[in-house]
Amino acid sequence: MKTPNNVSASIVTRNMSDFTHETGNVYESIAIISKRANQISVKLKEELNGKLAEFATTVDNLEEVFENREQIEISKHYERLPKPTNLAIEEFLEGKVTFRTLEEEALPVARPTE
């Protein structure tokens, strides 16, 4: 997953009215951002687990635990990444998040008449 460099890894004060441009409702926007943050989090976790699995050892003895420098570096890299919530907020504010509402799904589809 490519992480944009312009996303701040720290907390930023946001203007709540910025979240209403897409949906007209702050709470709906927050729900959309929350769902997107969960998607990003799952994807990052799968990616991290996949990379760490390459270094996994099948040792049955707990005393034989080895430190692996590559594992530590990979873990540190993922710790420095911006949080999924920050990434989701940036994507939402930049208009990169696609969403549908229940009203849109319930509308009948216009079909051409014969």
Question: In whole angstroms, what is the distance from residue 89 CA to residue 34 CA?
Answer: 9
Extents of the domains making up the chain:
41-56+66-96
Q: What is the pLDDT of residue 43?
A: 95
The tokens describing 96, both together, are 């990169």
Which of 20, 46, 47, 42 shows the shortest CA–CA distance to 32?
20
| pLDDT by position in tens, the chain (length 114) | 555 556 665 677 888 899 999 899 999 999 999 999 999 999 999 999 888 888 766 665 554 455 677 888 888 888 888 889 999 999 999 999 988 877 766 666 555 554
What does the pLDDT read at residue 71? 80
The alpha helices in the chain, defined as continuous H runs, are: 20-23, 26-53, 69-80, 84-93, 102-106
Distance between CA 25 and CA 52 in Å, rounded? 41
Nearest one of 102, 109, 81, 113 to 31, comparing CA atoms: 102
Residue 87 is predicted with a pLDDT of 92
